């Protein structure tokens, strides 16, 4: 099956090149210069024994942040290489770590591309974050004797169904992995069903519970509240997708009928939607401010669009309620831990399969509530904004869940130490 898979990869390579060219036209010159990295062509600064972390996009980079910082602390002499697939992931790596790590795009899973990449990076350890199964890459690591771990390993029911037809390919690829550090018992069970060696699976917990609150985020949030007025009702819709923004705006219209001074802070998930969301808000009659043009909203603004990446934490800290999007549409939800870490009550929609364990834990402990339907969002937000006691109880419960689940990075670092000693 791997030979058939590799043949298929070569057959679709012209389409991959066409896609790169199209994206290059739409993107800046930096992206155009770097697309050869997708085939393993890049200048590497003579690495020997690097520690390599792969995080596909923004969410995985955020999850990997505490692990990468722990690797820098415990192995200060080892070069750190971080790969991503998306430009937004690359931007987040640069924002978090600057030049302290070497970033390169992960090559396509073609044997020669993978070989070029590994020869230049020369890792002594490979760490794949969450759910990325690339058969040729995994087999190449095994042939070269490179220890391979999947950390913060997550496998939803939906992903499991997607991999099942390819189980004959996924199983031998997973057998190349030295250790799978799963987020939960359910994730560990799904990896076993997919064919991973049960002896090489551990439940380490979710690294996202170990994420640091950005320095100054709480203080910046407090300063914004002082600027807006501490009594002003503020709610946030984080990481929204197409099909959700209109529902969020309609919910805000319902909120404004009862609380005319309320403020909605909305953060679209993808940069290409920033301007679309801003224009949609204006077309609906809202007074709209944006992060790029205004910095922070004033008292006259009803909607504030965060049109920048990696800026949500101060606004979570300044909000009374956080709706975590990607959950009103079947995207699977996004990270509910960021508002929970700041004691902010959380609302989610019905589709949370990407973060099911965490979301269920928050709901069970009273730190989050589920909105059953799109047209119920405004009612739920308004109910929380009108009930400060309920908000306080939910925020405290969310914080307790966040604090209780910390420690995954320490457990993973212990296994990394053992692998490197071997």
The CA distance from 11 to 5, in Å, is 10
Structure tokens at 191: 């990896």
Q: Which residues contact 38 (CB under 8 A, 6 or more apart)?
A: 16, 20, 105, 106, 107, 108, 113
Question: CA-CA-CA-CA torsion for 281, 285, 290, 296, nearest 10 degrees?
Answer: -130
- Mutual orientation of helices 245-258 and 377-385 as an angle, nearest 10°? 40
Phi, psi of 210 (to 5 degrees): -95, 5
Residue with tokens 């073609």: 110
The CA distance from 160 to 158, in Å, is 5
Q: Quick one: which of 340, 348, 318, 346 has its CA closest to 398?
A: 340
Q: Which residues contact 243 (CB under 8 A, 6 or more apart)?
A: 328, 329
Q: Which residues contact 127 (CB under 8 A, 6 or more apart)?
A: 51, 52, 53, 54, 64, 67, 149, 151, 416
| Residue 231: DSSP 8-state | T
CA 324 remoteness from chain centre: 12
User: Cβ distance 114 to 40 under 8 Å?
Assistant: yes
User: Cβ distance 80 to 96 under 8 Å?
Assistant: no
The CA distance from 62 to 335, in Å, is 10
Q: Quick one: which of 276, 240, 235 has its CA closest to 378?
A: 235
60 is catalytic: yes
**In a 3-state reduction of DSSP, which class is residue 203?**
strand
Residue with tokens 């010159």: 29
User: Cβ distance 323 to 237 under 8 Å?
Assistant: yes
Instruction: List the strands of the sheet with 263-268, edge to edge.
Output: 288-290, 303-305, 263-268, 234-240, 321-324, 346-348, 368-370
Out of 60, 338, 356, 357, which one is annotated catalytic? 60
Question: Would you please indicate which residues are annotated as catalytic (active-site) residues?
Answer: 60
């Amino acid at each position: 099956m791997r030979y058939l898979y590799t043949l298929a990869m070569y057959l679709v390579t012209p389409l991959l090149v066409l896609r790169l060219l199209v994206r290059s036209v739409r993107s800046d010159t930096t992206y155009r210069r770097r697309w050869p990295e997708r085939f393993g062509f890049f200048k590497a600064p003579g690495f020997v024994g690097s520690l390599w972390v792969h995080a596909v996009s923004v969410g995985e980079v955020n999850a990997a942040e505490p692990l990468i910082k722990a690797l820098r602390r415990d192995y200060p002499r080892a070069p750190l290489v971080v790969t991503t697939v998306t430009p937004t992931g690359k931007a987040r790596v640069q924002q978090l770590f600057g030049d302290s790590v070497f970033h390169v795009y992960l090559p396509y899973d073609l044997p020669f591309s993978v070989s070029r990449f590994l020869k230049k990076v020369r890792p002594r350890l490979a760490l794949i974050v969450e759910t990325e199964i690339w058969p040729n890459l995994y087999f190449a690591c095994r042939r070269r004797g490179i220890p391979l771990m999947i950390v913060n390993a997550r496998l939803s029911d939906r992903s499991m169904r997607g991999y099942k037809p390819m189980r004959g390919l996924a199983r031998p690829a997973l057998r190349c992995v030295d250790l799978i550090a799963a987020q939960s018992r359910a994730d560990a069970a799904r990896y076993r069903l997919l064919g991973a060696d049960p002896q090489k699976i551990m439940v380490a917990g979710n690294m996202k519970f170990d994420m640091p609150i950005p320095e100054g985020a709480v203080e910046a949030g407090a300063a914004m509240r002082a600027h807006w007025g501490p009594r002003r009702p503020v709610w946030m819709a984080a990481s929204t997708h197409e099909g959700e923004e209109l529902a969020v705006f309609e919910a805000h219209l319902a909120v404004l009928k009862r609380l005319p001074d309320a403020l909605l802070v909305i953060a679209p998930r993808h940069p290409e939607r920033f301007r679309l969301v801003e224009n949609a808000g204006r077309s609906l009659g809202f007074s709209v401010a944006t992060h790029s043009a205004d910095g922070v909203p004033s008292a006259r603004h009803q909607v504030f669009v965060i049109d920048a990446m990696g800026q949500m934490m101060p606004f979570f800290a300044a909000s009374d309620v956080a709706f975590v999007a990607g959950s009103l549409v079947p995207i699977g939800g996004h990270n509910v831990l960021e508002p929970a870490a700041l004691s902010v009550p959380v609302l989610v929609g019905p589709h949370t399969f990407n973060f099911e364990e965490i979301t269920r834990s928050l709901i069970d402990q009273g730190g989050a509530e589920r909105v059953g339907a799109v047209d119920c969002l405004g009612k739920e937000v308004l109910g929380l904004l009108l009930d400060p006691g309920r908000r306080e109880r939910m925020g405290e419960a969310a914080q307790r869940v966040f604090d209780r689940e910390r420690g995954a990075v320490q457990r993973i670092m212990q296994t990394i130490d053992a692998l490197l000693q071997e």
